[in-house]
Amino acid sequence: MHSVLLIFIVLNCLLWCFQGQTASVSSNHPRLPMPLHSISAEHISKDFYYAIEKSDRSKDKLQRKLLHFFENLQKNLTMSTVLSDFGKSDTSAENYIVRIHELLKFFYEASNVFEEFSNDVEKFYEASKNSSHALLLKLRQVPTAQPKYVKVLLTNYFAEMEFFNIMFSEIVNDAMEYTVGTLTAIQKIFFYYAEAQSFILHNWKLKLNLECRELYVDFLQHHSAKIFECAAGHNLELTYDVYAVTKLNVKYIMKQLEFRIQRLFNCFIFGSYAIQCTFLNNADRDFENLFIKLAELEMYLDIKTKTGLVSVLRRRRGRDADEFTKADSIIDKCLLNDFPRNQISNRLKGCFYNF
Ligand SMILES: *[C@@H]1O[C@H](CO)[C@@H](O)[C@H](O)[C@H]1NC(C)=O
Ligand SMILES: *[C@@H]1O[C@H](CO)[C@@H](O)[C@H](O)[C@H]1NC(C)=O
């Protein structure tokens, strides 16, 4: 029993000594002596890592769904494909219907995958805020029977970390607002476009002669490409970037916070804070690098999401945050006025029984 416990402690010490070293090297802090015996625990909840995995998987799924869209559009909707049974007009009309339903289905499905990614990425951001907050609360678990001056130092340290936690949550909120807002906008556009196609097929009723088939396929090719490019082109690239950079920084920050908590626990467990806890004397200094990291992330978000909008949003949040929705501006830009009624040529209009 004793030897098992001892091995456990030694293994944990190895883990923490190693992490402690890498963390202090990368953050330019003077290397802190690690206690020989330290009791360690995992401080970051599994939910945090699980949320990252899940949103990564949704992102991959989305990327797979959208891959080769333009080639597929071309392939699926060229007249030679659509009329592959040329001469037997019944089967080629059937083939035609199949093709345009496949396109419709594609936009419905992609819309769902956008929604999934959006939900999962939101959960990841929420889990990050939770995780940072949970680490902060761990500080409350430090044994309370301490000399008065140590209590004062601990209070300062807690205040510093609390302030960091507030800033961190704000910036995660910015990233979340941008990412979820954009993804939701794209999802709505895809859904709307699928609904429009469905409406045309069910309500206007297409004539299936050769000329009409050709006109409608041209219409679909043109608008599908345009809407896809507008909604899921540059906006989406930017969203992937923001997600990736935020995730990287959040993971780093979480590890650093975890390291700080563990270091604190270690010195109190053995009551040797005079030697082990010198960082407590200077809480600002101990958090300096983390604040710099956060400021860099904020600047990145500001630049990427344009014109310092992020900080404007932050100042206004809570009061009238709903006033500005990025989603609406993307939808307005990509879905033209009264689509599809205004975009259908007179010749194509003649192709519907009930236009
Ligand atoms: C093209 O057709 C394939 C099936 O043949 C379908 O899976 C895919 O979603 C279609 N893509 C588009 C853009 O219509
Ligand atoms: C975050 O914490 C809140 C309240 O503690 C909880 O309701 C929520 O489920 C948590 N979210 C995640 C993603 O962990």
Residues 199-212: tens digit of each pLDDT: 999 999 899 888 89
Cα-Cα-Cα-Cα torsion 211, 217, 222, 225, nearest 10 degrees, comes to: -170
**Using 50, 70 and 90 to split pLDDT, how confident is the model at 338?**
confident
Integer Cα distance of 161 and 253 in angstroms: 12
Integer Cα distance of 206 and 114 in angstroms: 30
Give the residue, by CA position, lying nearest to ligand 2 atom 1: 130
pLDDT of residue 73: 94
Pocket test residue of 44, 120, 130 for ligand 2, highest count of atoms within 8 A of CB: 130
Integer Cα distance of 354 and 203 in angstroms: 7
Nearest ligand, CA of residue 84? 1
Nearest ligand, CA of residue 102? 1
**305 closest CA partner among 209, 237, 218:** 237
Whether ligand 1 lies within 6 angstroms of the CB of 72 is answered as yes
Q: Can you give the residue range of the structural domain that contains 249? A: 60-349
Q: Which of 29-38, 249-258, 336-345 is the least confident region?
A: 29-38
* Cα 130 to middle of ligand 2, angstroms: 6
Phi and psi torsions of 46, nearest 5°: -60, -30
Give the residue, by CA position, lying nearest to ligand 2 atom 7: 130
pLDDT of residue 102: 95
| Residue 201 belongs to some domain of the structure | yes
- Is residue 153 over pLDDT 70? yes
| Residue 329 belongs to some domain of the structure | yes
Integer Cα distance of 328 and 190 in angstroms: 14
Whether ligand 1 lies within 6 angstroms of the CB of 132 is answered as no
Ligand 1 atom with the smallest distance to the CA of 103 is 14
Q: Compute the C-alpha angle 61/66/72, nearest 5°.
A: 135
pLDDT of residue 84: 61
**Residue 206, strand partner residues:** 352
Integer Cα distance of 217 and 320 in angstroms: 44
pLDDT of residue 298: 94
Integer Cα distance of 317 and 323 in angstroms: 10
Distances from the Cα of 24 to the Cα of 21, 35, 345, angstroms = 5, 15, 67
Ligand 1 atom with the smallest distance to the CA of 69 is 13
pTM comes to 0.81
- Find the mean pLDDT for residues 63-85: 85
Integer Cα distance of 337 and 334 in angstroms: 9
- What is the sign of the dihedral through the CA atoms of 187, 192, 197 and 198? positive
- Is residue 193 over pLDDT 90? yes
- Find the mean pLDDT for residues 348-355: 88
Integer Cα distance of 56 and 251 in angstroms: 13
Pocket test residue of 65, 74, 102 for ligand 1, highest count of atoms within 8 A of CB: 102
- Is residue 323 over pLDDT 50? no
Q: Which of 65-79, 173-187, 335-349 is the least confident region?
A: 335-349
Q: Which of 28-32, 136-140, 253-257 is the least confident region?
A: 28-32
The model's pLDDT over 131-145, given as tens digits with 9 standing for 90+, comes to 999 999 988 888 777
Q: Which of 18-22, 63-67, 133-137, 232-236 is the least confident region?
A: 18-22
The model's pLDDT over 79-126, given as tens digits with 9 standing for 90+, comes to 776 666 555 566 778 888 899 999 999 999 999 999 999 999 999 999
Q: Which of 51-55, 97-101, 253-257, 263-267 is the least confident region?
A: 263-267
Whether ligand 1 lies within 6 angstroms of the CB of 74 is answered as no
Mean pLDDT of the chain: 82
| Residue 31 belongs to some domain of the structure | no
Whether ligand 1 lies within 6 angstroms of the CB of 225 is answered as no
pLDDT of residue 64: 97
pLDDT of residue 89: 61
| Residue 341 belongs to some domain of the structure | yes
Pocket test residue of 72, 99, 107 for ligand 1, highest count of atoms within 8 A of CB: 72
- Is residue 223 over pLDDT 90? yes
Which one of 7-21, 76-90, 152-166, 319-333 scores highest in mean pLDDT? 152-166
Whether ligand 2 lies within 6 angstroms of the CB of 123 is answered as yes
| Residue 355 belongs to some domain of the structure | no
- Is residue 238 over pLDDT 60? yes
pLDDT of residue 270: 72
Residues near 205 by Cβ (< 8 Å), separated by ≥ 6? 352, 353, 354
- Is residue 315 over pLDDT 60? no
Nearest ligand, CA of residue 190? 1
Q: How many domains does the chain have?
A: 1
Cα-Cα-Cα-Cα torsion 100, 106, 107, 112, nearest 10 degrees, comes to: 150
| Residue 216 belongs to some domain of the structure | yes
Cα-Cα-Cα-Cα torsion 23, 24, 28, 32, nearest 10 degrees, comes to: 170
- Is residue 245 over pLDDT 90? yes
* Cα 106 to middle of ligand 1, angstroms: 7
- Is residue 288 over pLDDT 50? yes
Integer Cα distance of 231 and 326 in angstroms: 12
* Cα 314 to middle of ligand 2, angstroms: 22
* Cα 229 to middle of ligand 1, angstroms: 17
| Residue 53 belongs to some domain of the structure | no
| Residue 257 belongs to some domain of the structure | yes
**Using 50, 70 and 90 to split pLDDT, how confident is the model at 332?**
confident
pLDDT of residue 87: 55
* Cα 173 to middle of ligand 2, angstroms: 15
Whether ligand 2 lies within 6 angstroms of the CB of 47 is answered as yes
* Cα 126 to middle of ligand 2, angstroms: 7
